Structure 1
Amino acid sequence: RTVDNFRALNSGTQEAALVAEIATADIVTTAVGPHILKFVAPAITKGIAARPAGLAPLQVMACENAINATDILRAEVAGLWDDAAGALDAA
């Protein structure tokens, strides 16, 4: 089997491209380790902020070897966002 229609980007060296991809993506996943989520959260926050109105909600999953990794990532993004609760629920 072949997996297609995905892109892998480095948040440390390709932030602008990553933000642009998140702005139009259906699904975002991470696989960076639970202690690195705080470093990818800024790009995810910018990508959510750049999403055009009318897109389907963005699904974000932290695929880390940690319990509640997605909740950890959500908290990191929320900490960077002025109106995090409403924006994240709408995104």
Structure 2
Amino acid sequence: MKNSKFVIEKLAKLFEQGLVSSKDIANEIMTILKSKRDEIVFKMKLTSKDEFEVLSKRVENLENKIDKLKSTKKKKIKKAKRS
């Protein structure tokens, strides 16, 4: 219940500030959720802050590489000629 109140308060602040475009709202919601996720991970003491940052960058890089491979794989498909 406490977390839902937090999210609702953040959304109310966004509307008060006049952020109207959907991209701005979506980006702001994502940053709020990421910060709450980071907070929870740090409270659980799973990893140190430095390790978490390094691992999150590695995951982000891997996701980017996967997206690039998917897009190039779709382009390279060619049908073989029959003789």
TM-score of the aligned structures, taking structure 1 as reference length? 0.23
More helix by share: 2
More strand by share: 1
The structure with more radius of gyration: 2
Greater RCO, CA 8 A, separation 6+: 1
TM-score of the aligned structures, taking structure 2 as reference length? 0.24
